[in-house]
Chain A
Amino acid sequence: MFHEWVKFADDETASVGITDYAQEELGDLVFVNLPEAGDDFAVGEVFADVESVKAVSDINCPLTGTISEVNEAIMDEPESINSDPYGAWFVKFEGISEQENLMDAAAYEKYVEEEKAKEE
């Protein structure tokens, strides 16, 4: 399960970030390592990682495509990922040819509820 959100602009372009559940689990983020524009990734490949003080977490690609833009702002202010996970996009993709089975917001929320219940 990739705790990431994908916002499609059209069939071939989208922006990607991590969900509120993800940022909460990861804790205070201190840095994010992003790829470069022009890099290609396939579904499942690690395209970025986020650092907290004591850990690093890989972010896996939910799409197959090419990076068109990276969000430099979150590199300077990683705290924005914690405070505004749905606004703090990581990268933008173009030329999308494949995608992971994506849930809609309602299905995801239900999934997260179930995960949280399991933890208790």
Chain B
Amino acid sequence: MGSFIANTDRQQQEMLTAAGYDNFEDLFAHIPDVVKLGRELEIDRGLSEMEVCRKIESLSEKNIVFRHIFRGAGAYDHYIPSIVKEVVSKEEFVTAYTPYQAEVSQGNLQSIFEYQTMMCELTGMDVSNASVYDGATAAAESVFMCKDRKRKSVVISGAVNPAVIDVIRTYCSGRETDINVVPAKNGLTDADAVCAALNSATACLIVQQPNFFGNIEDADRFCRAAHEAGAKFVMSVDPIAMAVLKTPGEYGADIAVGEGQSLGMPLGFGGPYLGFMTTTQKMMRQLPGRIVGQTEDSEGNVCYVLTLQAREQHIRREKASSNICSNEALCALTATVYLSAMGPEGLRQAAELSVNKAHYLQKELEKAGFAPAYPDAEFFKEFVTESPVPPERLMAELEKHGILGGLPLEDGKILWCATEKNTREDIDDLVTLAGEVIC
């Protein structure tokens, strides 16, 4: 059996005696027998480390790892620099606790401070928290930042990722919140319908950029409309796109959230990912979760500390606006290292390469018979096509060649994605195969 207990039987006996117990049963004697399990657990016997490796490896081998990925829909196959993996495996970062004791956590705290700074730079906002679970829960938490006694309803564009909308619905299902999802029109937010939906009871309007279909929204109009109705404007953004697109800060948004997985985290079958939340100076104290601040110690040295803690659950308890305790700290560190490695030019390059590859893919697919679903919309790194063949048939054929094709959508369309990792050759191969399926 595997064990990480250092003390030998002899040492355990010594300690029992020193503490005044005869045996282990004594330690649990006060627990009523009727609640004790009283038998062995019906699970397998323990294993040695080597056997554990073999068993887990064989499980992993039952998965198909696609060498070429053309699917996004919220989780992206971007290039992860080697230095990122190296830094985030440092044992201190991996095993440290939450930095409540500032004197022994300066490294952790400073790197979160750097993370907060970088997220503000990306989104153009003033303040960031230290992360929440993922982009979807970040969007959900932003709703509670905006709600107050008079404004309890939320307007969400139907062009937002359906998974995000699902999570917002679940989060709001406990507390009285009216959710109005305005269906998308031609692959974009229906501006007229959204404006008509905003009123004096609206807490916020949520729009995604680029949206779920990959299309770029003209957020100016939405921001103005939201503010005119007295509501807050929330943008859920792709962090890589922020290197080249107009930022939420530039639009005048009140809150910018999003999924940070693209910033150095592997796909990992869904997690752990990274929810980032940034906002204006004015709404700083509405942010949930931990926040690191800069200060000085008693000797005047610059140092870092968890601050504004009186917002949080461990102090406010039932008066806290969010229950969040653990966050995605190591993923935030991952983003910090990624953004340091990429720098402004590298991030711009990743964004531009993704755009270029996606547009090349789209043109070639169109030539092969996959018509664009939203030809009038401009897209970033994802786009939707019609499919002249049942998508499952196409996907099955691509799978044989180690290719994960675009995501089949409910209405028979396909949501494709390309990033800097897809070479021209990969794209050409995909298109050739797709063309063959049609014939």
A interface residues (Cβ-Cβ under 8 A, vs B):
30-31, 49, 51-56
Chain B contact residue count (CB 8 A cutoff): 7
Q: How far is the CA of A53 from the CA of B314 in the complex (A)?
A: 12
From known contacts A30-B310, A31-B310, A51-B310, infer whether A56 and B285 are also in contact, taking CB-CB under 8 Å: no
State whether the Cβ of B98 lies closer than 8 Å to any Cβ in chain A.
no
Interface of A is mostly: strand
Bound CA–CA A49/B315 (angstroms): 13
Residues of B bordering A, CB below 8 Å: 285, 308-310, 315-316, 319
Bound-state Cα–Cα, A56 to B319, Å: 10
A41 CA to B392 CA, complexed, in Å: 62
Nearest neighbor of A56 in chain B, beta-carbon distance:
B310
**Contact sample, A vs B, 11 pairs, CB 8 Å cutoff:** A30-B310, A31-B285, A31-B308, A49-B319, A51-B310, A52-B310, A53-B310, A54-B309, A54-B310, A55-B310, A56-B319
Given contacts A30-B310, A31-B310, A56-B319, 9 further A-B contacts (CB under 8 A): A31-B285, A31-B308, A53-B309, A53-B310, A54-B310, A54-B315, A56-B310, A56-B315, A56-B316
Residues of the B chain whose Cβ atoms lie less than 8 Å from the Cβ of A53: 309-310
Specify the chain B residue showing the minimal Cβ separation from A50.
B310
Closest to B320 in A: A56
A31 CA to B293 CA in the complex, in Å? Answer: 15
Most chain A C-beta atoms within 10 Å of own C-beta, residue among B285, B310, B315, B316: B310
Contacts of A54 in B (CB 8 A): 309-310, 315
CB contacts (< 8 Å) of A52 on chain B: these are 310
Nearest CB in chain A: distance from B158 CB, A: 33
| Pick from B285, B308, B315: contact of A55, CB under 8 Å | B315
| Complex interface: chain A residues within 8 A of B308 (CB) | 31
Bound CA–CA A76/B52 (angstroms): 57
Closest beta carbon of chain A to B323's beta carbon, Å = 16
- Contact partners of B319 in chain A: CB under 8 A: 49, 56
Give the CA-CA distance A51 to B308 in the complex, in Å.
9
**How far, in whole Å, are A73 and B314 apart by their CA atoms in the complex?**
28
